[in-house]
Amino acid sequence: MAEESRAFVPGHVTGFFSVHRADDPARTGSRGAGVTLADGVTTTVAPADETSVTLNGDRTSVEAVERVLAHLDVTARVRCETPLPAGAGFGVSGAAALGTALAAADALALARTENDLVRVAHVAEVESGSGLGDVVAQARGGVPVRLDPGAPPHGRLDGLPAAGRVEYVSFGELSTASVIEGDVADLSAAGERALATLRDRPTTDHLVHLSRTFAREADLVADDVGAVLDEVPGAAMAMLGRTAFAFGTALSDAGYDATATAVHPGGAALRE
């Protein structure tokens, strides 16, 4: 048994999505597309008699993380470090949940496969109401396209080949739960249209274009993000947060004080 174990999980911004609910939380999820980011969450887990969670050094509570540990039937000290703002559409809770699952299984020698641990983290996210598709996208990396909702073995993913710089500007939080637990019929119809259209021409330019249309159709554009989208044709909104993102230098070229990161080439993984 390791003293402690560490996992890195990329951030994830969703461009568009549809909501799919089932009785089984492992079959519940979203379809859609987004981008995983080299800016992510590093989670360190050490066995402990009582569970505690810190985020960038501050004691906190992340329901999805606590549910992961409960599903694994362990207690542990969990430390999450990230440059990403929480609640702003970067999948920080999903990353913390998946990182906890991977690192806890290693630290406590639980002998679980990656698909098992992705399922545990996805179920914990769904039960917490904090996300529907981040965990499976973060497990895959790159520019994930969620073809079918849910965790392994139910969900099915593809990806758009892409590398290089991604920029983002964030204005703060938007409640994921208030959107995905409300009436999502129109939103889901718009997300399904976007996915079908993306599959006809699977490129990152098209992903951005369809994400912009989706944000308007689903009526989710906050004022501050809307101003960015109006000014920068290559920018889209991160679902769900008051965040705009773009490939390349589109945001900094337009004069925004954007944070630069990159498409993360791989998915979630243990780190030495």
Report how far Cα 12 is from the mean position of its chain's Cα atoms: 4
Closer residue to its own copies (CB): 99 or 191: 99
Closer to its own copies by CB, 2 or 227: give it: 2
DSSP strands (E only) in 48-105? 52-55, 58-60, 76-81
Q: Which is nearer to its own copies, 119 or 242 (CB)?
A: 119
Distance of CA 211 to the CA centre of its chain: 16
Per the omega criterion (within 30 degrees of 0), is the bond before 251 cis?
Answer: no
The residues of the shown chain that bind its own copies, judged by CB under 8 A, are: 7-8, 102, 105-106, 109, 111-117, 141-142, 145, 152-153, 156, 158-165, 199, 201-203, 262, 264-267, 269-272
We find the least distance from the C-beta atom of residue 191 to its own copies, in angstroms, to be 18
Q: Identify the helix (H) or strand (E) that includes residue 249.
A: none
Within 8 A by CB and 6+ apart from 223, the residues are none
What is the distance, to the nearest Å, from the Cα of residue 149 to the centroid of all Cα atoms in its chain?
A: 14
Nearest to 155 by CA among 130, 122, 111, 183: 122
Please identify, using beta-carbon distances, which residue of 85 and 91 lies nearer to its own copies. Answer: 91
Whichever of 207 and 221 has its CB closer to its own copies, that residue is: 207
Residue 161 Cβ, how far from its own copies at the closest point, in Å?
Answer: 5
Structure tokens at 95: 């990353």
Closest separation between CB of residue 184 and its own copies, Å? 26
Rounded to the nearest whole angstrom, what is the least distance from the CB of residue 141 to its own copies in the complex?
A: 6
* Smallest gap from residue 107 Cβ to its own copies (A): 11
Tell me the closest approach of the beta carbon of residue 62 to its own copies, in angstroms. Answer: 21
Looking at the Cβ atoms of 15 and 85, the one nearer to its own copies is 15
Task: Closer to its own copies by CB, 33 or 235: give it.
Answer: 33
* Smallest separation (angstroms) from its own copies to the CB of 173: 30
CA dihedral 122, 181, 11, 263 (to 10 degrees): 100
Tell me whether residue 61 or residue 203 sits nearer to its own copies (CB atom). Answer: 203
CA distances from 158 to 48, 71, 149, 202 (A): 38, 28, 12, 10
**Within its chain, how far is the Cα of 59 from the centroid?**
22
Total Cβ atoms within 10 A of residue 10: 33
What is the DSSP code string of 127-150?
HHTS-SSHHHHHHH-SSEEEEE-S
Beta 52-55 vs 76-81: how paired, if at all? parallel
Shortest distance in whole angstroms from residue 116 CB to its own copies: 8
